[in-house]
């Protein structure tokens, strides 16, 4: 089982939207569990009227994340995606330390880019691999290229960006995701989410490879 935390130290980054859509995209290929550790419970509200089995949705306090992940870990092929609190609350440090990879959504604005330094304090303390993803990017703007260049100075950044499209909000209202809605206005949004997930999948494969090597070394 591989666990990803979607974490931001600043509200308004699109964190819950990214969590939900990545979980649905991941669920197209493997068992996926979406864990709502955000006290606002956005994910749980989204799931309330949803009938589809993927992703499985659970709620957990940040400090209880280890127990939630332990229940999923029996399925080694599963992916757990954790929607973190929007700020550093009690248990956030423990949550970040419990996952395998931390994804940090960032808007291409000066306040959001400045807040990245605060997020990095928590991420570095957790000692886990991380990557940035640009979200809520205005369509047809120069901000994305500039922000990608800045974020590359902090650490790995997903080359594909998630634009600020109405399709994301429309899908969430319907307890769905853009990759599940077969409408032309959702196609670009769906392609963006799948591109981000494919990049993260490669990171998961790298983590799995390291884990296998570690187990082999332990046996030898």
Tens-place pLDDT, residues 13-48: 889 999 999 999 999 989 999 999 999 999 999 999
Give the integer Cα–Cα distance in Å for 175 and 188. Answer: 19
Read off the pLDDT band of 208 (50, 70, 90).
Answer: low
| In the chain, domain spans | 2-219
Read off the pLDDT band of 102 (50, 70, 90).
Answer: very high
Q: List Cβ neighbours of 117 (8 Å cut-off, separation of 6 or more).
A: none
Give the integer Cα–Cα distance in Å for 145 and 207. Answer: 28
User: Mean pLDDT over residues 171-180, rounded?
Assistant: 95
> CA quadruple 198, 204, 206, 208: dihedral positive or negative?
negative
- What is the distance, to the nearest Å, from the Cα of residue 13 to the centroid of all Cα atoms in its chain? 12
Q: Which of 24-28, 132-136, 170-174, 199-203 has the lowest mean pLDDT?
A: 199-203
Q: Which CATH superfamily is domain 2-219 in?
A: P-loop containing nucleotide triphosphate hydrolases (3.40.50.300)
Q: pLDDT tens digits, residue range 73-98?
A: 878 889 999 999 877 777 899 999 99
Q: What percent of the chain has pLDDT over 70?
A: 93
pLDDT for the residue 163: 95
Q: Which residue has the higher pLDDT, 65 or 212?
A: 65
Distances (CA, A) of 190 to 52, 166, 216: 18, 12, 38
Does residue 167 have a cis bond before it (omega within 30 degrees)? no
Q: State the pTM of this model.
A: 0.90
C-alpha dihedral, 47 to 41 to 184 to 105, nearest 10°: -140
């Amino acid at each position: 089982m591989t666990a990803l935390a979607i974490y931001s130290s600043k509200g308004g980054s699109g964190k819950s939207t990214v969590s939900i859509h990545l979980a649905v995209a991941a669920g197209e290929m493997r068992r996926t569990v979406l864990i709502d550790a955000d006290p606002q419970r956005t994910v749980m509200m989204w799931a309330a009227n949803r009938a589809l089995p993927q992703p499985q949705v659970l709620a957990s306090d940040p400090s209880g994340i280890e127990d939630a992940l332990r229940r999923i870990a029996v399925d080694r092929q599963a992916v757990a995606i954790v929607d973190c609190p929007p700020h550093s609350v009690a248990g956030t440090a423990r949550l970040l330390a419990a996952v395998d990879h931390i994804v940090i959504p960032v808007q291409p604005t000066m306040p959001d880019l400045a807040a990245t330094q605060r997020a990095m304090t928590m991420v570095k303390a957790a000692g886990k691999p991380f990557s940035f993803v640009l979200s809520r990017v205005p369509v047809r703007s120069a901000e994305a290229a500039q922000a990608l260049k800045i974020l590359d100075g902090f650490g790995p950044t997903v080359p594909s960006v998630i634009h600020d499209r109405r399709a994301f909000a429309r899908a969430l209202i319907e307890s769905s995701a853009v990759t599940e809605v077969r409408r032309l206005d959702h196609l670009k949004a769906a392609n963006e989410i799948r591109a981000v997930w494919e990049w993260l999948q490669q990171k998961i494969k790298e983590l799995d490879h390291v884990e296998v090597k570690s187990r082999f070394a332990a046996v030898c």
